[in-house]
Amino acid sequence: MGYVILKECISKINIPITIVNWNTCLKNNLHLSLKKRILTAFEETPLIKFINESNKLVQRIHQQNGFLVPDLFVAVGLTHRSIIKNVKKANIKNVVISGDLRGHVEYEEDPKGSLDLVYEVDTELMSKIIVDTIKPWELFFLETFENAFMKAKPFTVSNKSKINYEY
């Protein structure tokens, strides 16, 4: 469905579309040093509880050569275009419809292509932007986590499939 919307609707509008390809995300992991920077920036706070190896999200994104964070490339790239280092024009060639790569899009380079395909991201600059952005929000995060997670009682699901949250 996303492919149809992109190809049939969005790509026909004459606006630039930038795509961070999955392969680019795999090749441009955030350096493991980012974790050290975050730990240093927040070493005195309980936020560290959410950034250690026991955190399920951290386990999922942790790769041998860094952190796999495709959503962050898109989010940070929208507001800080300077992290994008290598872009080429391309068109959609195919969408994989089955197997392990189901949903992945294959592109072909084309100087007259309708998409800007990102091949490289400045992960050092991105790491700095992330830490610099998070640091001023430290108190907000702490209050939010304490109120939402630390004080909440486990929720129950009733027999009518309604979720009842208890605080």
DSSP collapsed to 3 states, 79-97: HCHHHEEEEEEEEEEEECC
pLDDT of the residue at 156: 44
**More confident site: 97 or 62:** 97
Lowest mean pLDDT across 25-39, 76-90, 104-118: 25-39
CA distances from 13 to 17, 49, 74, 108, 125 (A): 10, 45, 20, 20, 32
When comparing pLDDT for 103 and 45, which is higher? 103
CB 116, CB 18: distance < 8 Å:
yes
How much is the pLDDT for 45?
56
Helix, strand, or coil here: 18?
strand
For residue 108, what pLDDT is reported? 93
pLDDT for the residue 110:
95
Per-residue exposure over 16-51, b if at least 16 CB sit within 10 Å of its own CB, e if not? eeebbbeebbeebbbbeebbebbeeebeeeebeeee
Q: Which residue has the higher pLDDT, 141 or 5?
A: 5
Give 94's strand partners: 106
Amino acid at 101: L
